[in-house]
Structure 1
Amino acid sequence: MPNSYFDQLIDQLKPVVYDSDFDAIFQALTKDLDGPTRFKLKMELNRLAAPCRRTVDLRNQVDDKCFPYEHQGRRHQLDSVAIEIFEKGLETYKGVFTQDTFEQILDADNQLRRAQEEERAYAQSLASQNAEPVSGQSPFRNESNEPYSYLAETFHFGRYPYRSEERMNFTIDVLLTDAGKQQFKGITADISITGMRIRLDEPRDIKAQEQLELSFVGLAKEFTVDPEMRIPYVVVGVQQVDGKQYINLNRASEFRSDELDRFFQRFINGYKKRYRVNIDNTYDSVINKGHEQFFLPRTRQLPVYFSEANKRLIADYVLTTDNNRFVLDTWLNELNQISFGSIFNVRRSQQILEQLESAGTAQLIILSFSITARGKIYHYSATVDELKRSGLWDTYIAFGRQKASWRVFQVDVRSCNSELAWQPQAVPEHIKVPFRINPPSVEVKQAVKPLKYLAAVSDVTAYVNDLTVGEVTKSQLPSLKAFAHPPAVPLRTKEARLEFVNLRKERRFNYRSRCRVKAGKFVRDAMIIDLSISGLQVQMDTPASISAGDTIYISMTGFLKTYKKAKLSELPYLVASTDRAGTTLRLKADTTADPHRGSDFIRFLIREQRDVLKLQVENTSVNGLPLCLRNLYCYAPAAVPVFFNRSKQKALSTRRVGVSSWTSGWLSILKRLPGSRDTIINLQPLLRGHSVTEVFEPKLKSMERDAFPESLLLLIRLYRQNGEYIVQTQWCETHATDDIHGFIDQCLPNSVFRAIAVNLSRAGKPDIQFIQAELAYMSYYAAYKAEDLEEELWKIFGVAETIDVTSSLLSFTLPDSASVNEQEERLVSWLDKL
């Protein structure tokens, strides 16, 4: 008879088996059963209650540690689960170790084994898909068996806390009176002439902008300060730290007392070396600025700044560096004028403004190419929505992809506040420090004031180029003229350039000039798109079977029109690299030809004819317009950069992550994962498994500091399984079309899909000049902190710029915008449940 039929009855009878009135209790509880059944039940109870004479040894049978456990002269080896069962059995059976207890211990062991095997099998099945539970926060092991955590510290872009007065760390009793005339005590944490931070041991309901009256009862005991004088202060902040409440106060502006100001001035100057000035704001500023200066020259996103006129966006400025100016390469006309702003016509401007009003951010995905004919460049651009509505999607893409100028841009737009363009250094104005940055001039303020919107433009061509395959329908070709730009450039976008610590071996200058490429019997007209003394970058309309290491000959036909006496025909250049399409060549001068006539000519051009290179204006100062535009961008960049440090043992680790108020779906995921908080970000999707040692480290170690970032694609799937939230990742080559399609198909039924572009690059040298004022100020009061911070900046080895490109990939793989929007809604729902 299976015991399962009588489990409840047996459990009732077990505790009374050894009682003298067991028979009476048994008869009463089984009166409804027939005789044979009662007999079998009693025999089963006798079997379970029989004393067990066996010794239990669970060593090498369970994973948990076993301990010796003695009972009636026998020493058992039991784990914690078995000990609990053993002692519960002794309690049930009046101190007797029974067969029932023995079987429960073995059964528990079997259950544990089965659970462990099932858990291992489940974990293995997830691992085979490169997935794991979101709650898996314990550090994983790398190849050297060192623990590596997913968690990294954060810094916040654009925050340079400024204090007009020095604050001294000083504790003294004060008495506060609120608006209801209730008094309570506090202790200062730091003080300045017109402000202070106070700790309250007992929390109170105090809110920002509330006014309090304060009496310096502690100072009155040692100095000539009137303890009855009540000074009005305004609460500017309330914080909870380690269970204590802190309030930040500023003296009310209507209160004036020269005598009190002079007292605090003398008091702080006299004691600040003893009690130390609070430099937390300066420390935070150096952290933020230092990491920004590593990131900015490495970003591949191009910031574009807009004003608004007649409900149209006017692209007034672009902020360029060596690594992002390539975005403009296909948007220069035959006069070398930047025509990028013409993308934002009235219709698209209104679409962006409507999105900004309803959602706070806006996005366009632009597909563009250009045609060169009769010495002029004709630009074409279309959005995804425009092409799908017009029915020209396949023809436009198939035709455009044949051009070397074919590009797909993801344009993310947000509002910006021109008031944030000037950010003073985090050192009080009256303190003398080296390299004080001056406020912008009146002209710069006027130039910045109209700016209302900021776009981050990402070139996503490599990620989406092969995701859709279409054919040209010849009958539709005339319809493409609807996407052609007017030949003139009514709105000229101006370039502001940021200069950094030298990252390249020599300067490059962007300039368009016609040339001719000759490689054996292959001869083609082409365009020089940038040049330096030792190299060129050349773009052809048709691909060529030219490989790295080949020697080719360049004739600078465009320059020959102006410099007729220069010998610029068939100059030898070595091919350093080519793009995947075979249309863009990166060349270096063939030094076996000495002197090299091409290098000599470009050296002359740079030295004597800088007006020819007017688009590449050097800006060796951090003041002025570029600084203001930099500050506007740094307040909220669209990317999430991850910084890698290298230790003295040359081990690589993630150190910090940059966050901002521009929250993408990618940043929302990282912020909501377990373990993330204000100062910590969980990078689990990015760092899963051995990504650091297998994906990032080999690439970073093989890079030069002046190398262009290497792009990777991270695909993420978020879903639920067995009641757990699971994150699955896959690293892809940018052209792995089948892998990308397969991963998206896997996500479509009920999972969340995200695609993250990761631009990996070596870090340059820290730009100490930019943070010199703050470092010098820190050194005066805490030299060890300044030294440690500077040393930490020198340890930064690489930067991974991560950009959410989900919409771009989905727009090229899903049939309509409704399907793309569904994924965004699914992400919001998933995060809410998490």
Structure 2
Amino acid sequence: MSLPRVVGELLEQLTPKLGHPKFNLLLKQVSQELSDSDRFLLKMELSRLAKPCLRPIDLRDKSPEPCQLVSIAKVNHYLPSSAAEQLKALIQSYQGVYNFAAYESIMRQFKLKPQTVFESKAQQTEVEQTLALPIIFGRRITRRDERMHYVTDLGFHTRAGAFKAKTRDISASGLQIKLPKTAILETNGLIEVNFLEFAKQYQRDFAFKLTYKVCWQRQEKGENFAGLAVDNEKQNPALIEFLTKFVKGYRRKYRLDACNTLDAARNKLFEQFYFYGSQALPMLLNVQGMQVEVNYLCAQKANQAIRQYWLNEQRHSQLSEVLTAERLLQATDNVGQVKTLYLYSFTHDQNQQHHFFTSTPEELAEAKMTDLFYHFGATKPSWRVFKLQFAELEHAKAWNPVAIPEEAGREIQKRNRPLSTTLQNKLFESNYYALLIDVTNELAKPSYHARPFDKSLLNQLNQFHVKREIDNPAQEVEFSLLGQRKEPRYNYRTVVEVDTGQQFISGLTKNISANGLQIEFEESAKLDAGQVIYLDFPELQLTTCDYKLTHLPYIVVATNKAKTVFNFKAKPGKHQGRKFFTKLSQRKEALNQGNDKRIIGLEDALHNLFIYSTSQCCAYISQVDDDSQCFLACAPVATRLNALIDRCRELNSQLIELALLDKFASFYPADEQTDFAEMVIAVNANKIEFLGWLSEMTSESDRKNALTDWLKDKVIWVLRVDVAIACPADFRHIELENSYLSTYQPAAQKMLEKLAKGVRLTLQVTDISQEVCLRYNKPLEQFKSLIEKQNNIVFDVLN
């Protein structure tokens, strides 16, 4: 796992002192200025290095000196005499413990990569099963206490009699137990558990008995298991304290169960792939009576086009006037938690003003203007078809704790603090979540344009003119992918003078962060990676007397192919630029969140709400070791599309994944290129069938004829798939989970890292069955009948 530079430097300083009696005091002194996340990473990595190691070292193929079999710290190694003496000295310095710090020190010296392997086949199977679970956006299985795999004998009583059982894992607040096949427990019932083996092994002045509530019971590979939670922690506090100390004391000897952390880390990584790849626009709305306000827009690079579409000539968003209460009410009769409506739009410029014309299918049908609006609108380059999905906001989902037991450190307790009252009150100013998806298909324009129309009625289109929005502009909250960066970057343009030692070059900053910046030059510059240059900021110097912004040392990190855009990082050490840009970044962050109205934690809260509430599904094309795979992920909200995917899983069908893999496994788009395709499948209660890709047919008439034939005797779904290059795996987003896994399940952490790095495409999946029926002028009753049949097949899953 890659660590931040400052953490790596402190590790080099602290690791040799791991066995020192005053080590904890030294750690506290040197880590005072670290951020919470960096302090947690440092402690977790030191904890891992201090862990006793049983791995042998074999240098027979690496050392030029002859190697002999030697036993050191009860482990057999093949080492040359010099390495053996060095290992003994290391072990002595670590208070006689052969730990991972000593092991890795020898391995590094001989340039051997430490092996990360599973401790058992059962552990590997458990990790593989966890990574094979469906990806559910927003899912975090949190635990208050650390859970350790440990087997000990138990006894308990039910109405059927006395039974013996064995623990599978234990924690201070619960157990997983293996039951006799004849034992049946009542869910939510209470049972008294006797820790038989503990009572024999440990002599204490308290009883080894606790009352537990039965949470679940299930069969796994023919074995009978149950999950138990302590019913009342005050019933036997001495035993609970004993269990707490037992797990802490033996967690290095016996493996901690970190699969919930692994599942959360995987889900968070794939959420980021979706979040920064989706071209849809998430919004928070405040709907009061017949008034609708758009309070927040989620702004990021991938949805820039859809945001800019709705700006008038004064750069004011018109969405609050487009998303009227009357339109939202049209969709309230839709089945399911998430409501849907379609919006058709085009623009017209007149008298230096940018005018919008929008309508829903229902409005057009009522005004008998469908043909005219479609025909005239489709002639415009600005013609768009949007799908709006919205639902009541679940404010509680704004808080999403880290899936690491709080026992792991105070940093976890701090990160898991509830939302502030100020932030909660601010979020309660919005009561709906909405997602606006552009589903325009340029190939379908001829079908819209082919509608008959009466040119003399064109003036009647003015009834669909959008009232100009002037007041109450929506606040755009900008999100940028951290990836491997330590802090976010902000767009900022200012003049910079570069002194290379041989020439002076003028440029403009493109973005800034506390520790680095990106500069654009008019012509290519001769700068090499690793080169130290000096920067002056003449415009910024005029704004401050507190900082000297001249001759600041920076290191060249990277450049584009044309060598006109360069990334720089501040040279380590005292640096006036780092201090100034930290302050400037804070001001930019405040601007991003409303200047003096900024609320701490707003961005994270909105991110959590967007991820949990999205009505889209996302697929991923991954390539690991020449093996291509497709994963499907969705949020837990009740949508028709999620119900369809659940139905596929019930039928053990991977038809959707296989069709996507066949279509896109060999698709390698250019940088920032996007594409889409339209897939048609047929579904009934017992079978799912792939029918074809509309986008692969040669003409609109072919597409219309195929749709007509399929609708005669099949319940079809049309799914739009927007494809884009996946963003880099955002490991900074899971740094706490990553560090915890690298300590207690390093092989699982490596497997997750390999899985995430293999993701190369994101595929946003949207159900457009209704829009395709409207596009090809299917009768209203026909597509209403189709929607009803779809609901009958899949919605029992939601119920």
TM-score over 0.5 for the alignment? yes
Aligned residue number for residue 333 of structure 1: 312
Q: CA deviation at 1:390?
A: 0.9
Q: CA deviation at 1:392?
A: 0.9
- Counterpart contact for 1:670–1:681, Cα < 8 Å: no
Aligned residue number for residue 655 of structure 2: 684
Aligned residue number for residue 758 of structure 1: 721
User: Which of 1 and 2 has greater Rg?
Assistant: 1
Aligned pairs for 1:668-683 (under 5 A) are: 668-673=643-648, 676-677=649-650, 682-683=653-654
| Aligned-partner Cα distance in 2 for 1:242–1:353 | 45
| Aligned-partner Cα distance in 2 for 1:396–1:642 | 34
Counterpart of 1:495, as a letter, is: E
Q: CA deviation at 1:168?
A: 1.1
Query: Structure 2: any 5+ residue segments left out of the alignment?
Result: 1-130, 494-517, 522-559, 566-580
Aligned residue number for residue 114 of structure 1: none
| Aligned-partner Cα distance in 2 for 1:211–1:311 | 51
| Aligned-partner Cα distance in 2 for 1:238–1:288 | 26
Counterpart of 2:758, as a letter, is: K
Are 2:738 and 1:800 equivalent residues in the alignment? no
| Aligned-partner Cα distance in 1 for 2:612–2:604 | 12
- Specify which of 731, 736, 746 is matched with residue 783 of structure 1: 746
Give deviations 1:373-413, integer Å, cap 9, x for gaps: 33433332210111012111122223333444332101122
Aligned pairs for 1:568-583 (under 5 A) are: none
- Specify which of 343, 354, 358 is matched with residue 377 of structure 1: 354
- Counterpart contact for 2:345–2:359, Cα < 8 Å: yes
Q: CA deviation at 1:297?
A: 0.8
| Aligned-partner Cα distance in 2 for 1:274–1:193 | 17
| Aligned-partner Cα distance in 1 for 2:213–2:163 | 16
Are 2:289 and 1:310 equivalent residues in the alignment? yes
| Aligned-partner Cα distance in 2 for 1:294–1:622 | 26
Aligned pairs for 1:496-575 (under 5 A) are: 496-501=477-482
Give deviations 1:71-98, integer Å, cap 9, x for gaps: xxxxxxxxxxxxxxxxxxxxxxxxxxxx
- Specify which of 649, 656, 670 is matched with residue 703 of structure 1: 670
Aligned residue number for residue 337 of structure 2: 360
Q: CA deviation at 1:497?
A: 2.3
- Specify which of 451, 454, 476 is matched with residue 457 of structure 2: 476
- Percent sequence identity is 21
TM-score normalised by L of structure 1: 0.62
Aligned residue number for residue 420 of structure 1: 397
| Aligned-partner Cα distance in 2 for 1:826–1:161 | 35
Q: Decide whether aligned partners of structure 1 residues 830 and 443 sit closer, same or farther in structure 2, where only a CA change above 3 A counts.
A: closer
Counterpart of 1:683, as a letter, is: Q
- Specify which of 264, 274, 278 is matched with residue 253 of structure 2: 274
Are 2:190 and 1:211 equivalent residues in the alignment? yes
Aligned residue number for residue 712 of structure 1: 677
| Aligned-partner Cα distance in 2 for 1:374–1:292 | 44
Aligned residue number for residue 552 of structure 1: none
Are 2:411 and 1:444 equivalent residues in the alignment? no
Aligned residue number for residue 603 of structure 2: 626
Q: Decide whether aligned partners of structure 1 residues 176 and 494 sit closer, same or farther in structure 2, where only a CA change above 3 A counts.
A: farther
- Specify which of 239, 243, 246 is matched with residue 260 of structure 1: 239
Q: CA deviation at 1:612?
A: 14
| Aligned-partner Cα distance in 2 for 1:431–1:508 | 33
Q: CA deviation at 1:176?
A: 2.8
- Counterpart contact for 2:336–2:639, Cα < 8 Å: no
- Counterpart contact for 1:215–1:230, Cα < 8 Å: yes
- Counterpart contact for 1:306–1:315, Cα < 8 Å: yes
Paired residues in the alignment total: 581
| Aligned-partner Cα distance in 1 for 2:292–2:445 | 28
- Counterpart contact for 1:717–1:729, Cα < 8 Å: no
Aligned residue number for residue 738 of structure 1: 701
Counterpart of 1:496, as a letter, is: V
Aligned pairs for 1:117-136 (under 5 A) are: none
> For the aligned residues, what is the CA RMSD?
4.2
Are 2:737 and 1:774 equivalent residues in the alignment? yes
| Aligned-partner Cα distance in 2 for 1:478–1:325 | 32
| Aligned-partner Cα distance in 2 for 1:226–1:611 | 57
- Specify which of 469, 472, 475 is matched with residue 494 of structure 1: 475
Q: Decide whether aligned partners of structure 1 residues 752 and 218 sit closer, same or farther in structure 2, where only a CA change above 3 A counts.
A: same
| Aligned-partner Cα distance in 1 for 2:139–2:683 | 32
Q: CA deviation at 1:419?
A: 0.4
| Aligned-partner Cα distance in 2 for 1:681–1:636 | 26
| Aligned-partner Cα distance in 2 for 1:261–1:614 | 45
- Counterpart contact for 2:618–2:632, Cα < 8 Å: yes
| Aligned-partner Cα distance in 1 for 2:564–2:763 | 39
Counterpart of 2:701, as a letter, is: D
Aligned residue number for residue 97 of structure 1: none
Aligned residue number for residue 557 of structure 2: none
Q: CA deviation at 1:247?
A: 2.4
Counterpart of 1:242, as a letter, is: K
| Aligned-partner Cα distance in 2 for 1:191–1:593 | 58
Q: Decide whether aligned partners of structure 1 residues 163 and 311 sit closer, same or farther in structure 2, where only a CA change above 3 A counts.
A: farther
TM-score normalised by L of structure 2: 0.65
Aligned residue number for residue 465 of structure 1: 445
Give deviations 1:735-780, integer Å, cap 9, x for gaps: 9422321221111211222211111222222111111101111111
- Specify which of 146, 151, 156 is matched with residue 176 of structure 1: 156
- Counterpart contact for 1:642–1:654, Cα < 8 Å: no
Aligned residue number for residue 116 of structure 1: none
Q: Decide whether aligned partners of structure 1 residues 731 and 390 sit closer, same or farther in structure 2, where only a CA change above 3 A counts.
A: closer
Q: CA deviation at 1:724?
A: 8.5
| Aligned-partner Cα distance in 1 for 2:766–2:136 | 17
Q: Decide whether aligned partners of structure 1 residues 762 and 717 sit closer, same or farther in structure 2, where only a CA change above 3 A counts.
A: same
Q: CA deviation at 1:806?
A: 1.1
Q: CA deviation at 1:366?
A: 0.5
Aligned residue number for residue 634 of structure 2: 659
| Aligned-partner Cα distance in 2 for 1:380–1:249 | 60
Query: Structure 1: any 5+ residue segments left out of the alignment?
Result: 1-150, 512-531, 536-588, 595-605
| Aligned-partner Cα distance in 1 for 2:483–2:773 | 39
The secondary structure found in structure 1 opposite 2:166 is strand
Q: CA deviation at 1:243?
A: 2.6
Q: Which one is further off, 159-168 or 237-246?
A: 237-246
- Counterpart contact for 1:338–1:493, Cα < 8 Å: yes
Q: CA deviation at 1:229?
A: 5.9
Aligned residue number for residue 774 of structure 2: 811
- Counterpart contact for 2:677–2:693, Cα < 8 Å: no
Give deviations 1:546-572, integer Å, cap 9, x for gaps: xxxxxxxxxxxxxxxxxxxxxxxxxxx
The secondary structure found in structure 2 opposite 1:292 is helix
Counterpart of 2:789, as a letter, is: R
Give deviations 1:334-368, integer Å, cap 9, x for gaps: 3323221222222123233443xx53231100012
Q: Decide whether aligned partners of structure 1 residues 300 and 503 sit closer, same or farther in structure 2, where only a CA change above 3 A counts.
A: farther
Aligned pairs for 1:84-103 (under 5 A) are: none
| Aligned-partner Cα distance in 2 for 1:391–1:612 | 52
